[in-house]
Amino acid sequence: MIEIKEKDRNKIQHLFQSMEDSMILSCLQGHMGRAWTDNMEEPKVALIQMDCFCFIAGEDNSEVMMQLIAQILDLPKMRMAYIIAQNRKIGELVEVHYRDRCKKIQRYSIKKRMAEFDLNYLRAIVNSLPKEYTLHPIDDTWYQEAVKEDWSCDFVSNFRSKADYLERGIGRVIVHDGKIVSGASSYTVYDDGIEIEIDTREEYRRQGLATVAGAALILDCREKGLYPCWDAANMMSVHLAEKLGYEFKEAYDTFVIRTF
């Protein structure tokens, strides 16, 4: 497979026309991620890598598609892959190749809102934060704290550096006793928006903190003219998205491949 330079990613754009995901946009627009294809002049297949997520598209009955699938775990820093296939046939090829190392799960897509969010409602959620907690933008200080722990590092992990995040990223964290306990941030960025990453430290969950952090981030995005995309890993995430004004779209197959 040939890695595609940022300036040439338009050559595979047509292969991903049927796949709606802001992480695909982020890569095709040259903001983040990496991309591979079989042929730069007449690509038959292509793969987009965004951290541990891999999006595969192209000719599902071709030998080069099997070659691409076989090389996924050889990609840089790929200890585990979440593979999203363009269609069912490609998904079946992934299952056939990886067999016992492959587990099919469901993720959940959220509709992109055509109408505006209820900003007053979101402000009321933010104002409901109990006084023992404080809400902060992710600046130099809170960036350094976010990267220290596994549960919070994805708030900033897809950016090249702290300086890159502070220039292009956007995020809010909730702090208690001097430590981050919840937050919402830009997992990735694209021309007109971000992909939301939201999480809470385990012992602070089910207290409404993620709702506050999510509401604060959506408000920040709308103020900056950005759209906050949401893709859910589970039904709890779907319900949180709906609480903040999003609408569920559909479940879709994701193939989890482990190297260990």
Do 37 and 57 sit in the same domain of this protein? yes
What span, in angstroms and rounded, lies between the C-alpha atoms of 239 and 228?
16
Same domain, 118 and 230: yes
- Indicate whether 183 and 217 sit together in one domain: yes
Confidence of residue 260 (pLDDT cuts 50, 70, 90): low
What's phi and psi for 44, nearest 5 deg? -100, -30
Domain match, 58 and 20 both: yes
Q: Tell me the C-alpha distance between 236 and 218, whole Å.
A: 18
- Averaged pLDDT, 65-79: 89
Percent of the chain beyond pLDDT 70?
A: 100
Q: Is 80 exceeded by the pLDDT of residue 183?
A: yes
pLDDT at 35: 97
Tokens 């995020």 correspond to what residue?
171
* Domain-located, residue 7: yes
Name the pLDDT band for 44 (thresholds 50, 70, 90).
very high
Q: Give yes or no for residue 43 having a pLDDT over 80.
A: yes
Predicted pLDDT at 74: 87
Reported as a single tens digit per residue, the pLDDT across 138-171 is: 999 999 999 999 999 999 999 999 999 999 999 9
Distance CA 154, CA 200 (A): 12
Domain final residue, candidates 108, 124, 142: 108
Cα separation, 245 vs 230, whole angstroms: 11
pLDDT band at 52 (very low <50, low <70, confident <90, very high): very high
- Binned at pLDDT 50, 70 and 90, residue 259 comes out as confident
Q: Are residues 231 and 131 in the same domain?
A: yes
Q: Residue 196 belongs to what domain range?
A: 114-244
Mean pLDDT of 212-235: 97
Q: Are 56 and 86 in contact (CB under 8 A)?
A: yes
Residue-level pLDDT at 113: 83
**Average per-residue pLDDT for the chain:** 96
Report how many domains make up the chain. Answer: 2
Is 53 in the same domain as 76?
yes
Average pLDDT over residues 49-57: 96
Task: Note whether 25 and 10 are within 8 A (CB).
Answer: no
Q: Kindly state whether residues 57 and 7 are assigned to the same domain.
A: yes
Structure pTM? 0.94
Using the predicted structure, report yes or no on whether residue 114 has a pLDDT greater than 80.
no
Q: What is the CATH number of the domain that holds 52?
A: 3.40.630.110
C-alpha 222, offset from chain centre: 19
Could you tell me if 237 and 107 are in contact, meaning their C-beta atoms sit under 8 angstroms apart?
no
Does any domain span residue 251?
A: no
Does one domain contain both 141 and 226?
A: yes
Residues 64 and 68: their CA atoms lie apart, in Å, by 6
> Residue 108 pairs with which residues in a beta bridge?
232, 251
Q: What is the CATH classification number for the domain harbouring 212?
A: 3.40.630.30
Does residue 250 belong to any structural domain of this protein? Answer: no
Report, as an integer, the average pLDDT of 248-260: 91
Mean of pLDDT values over 90-98: 96
Same domain, 98 and 134: no
CB 14 within 8 A of CB 6: no
* Whether residues 133 and 45 fall in one domain: no
Strand partners, 102: 257
Distances from the Cα of 174 to the Cαs of 129, 134, 144, 223, in angstroms? 9, 6, 15, 20
Q: How far apart are CA 69 and CA 91, in angstroms?
A: 10
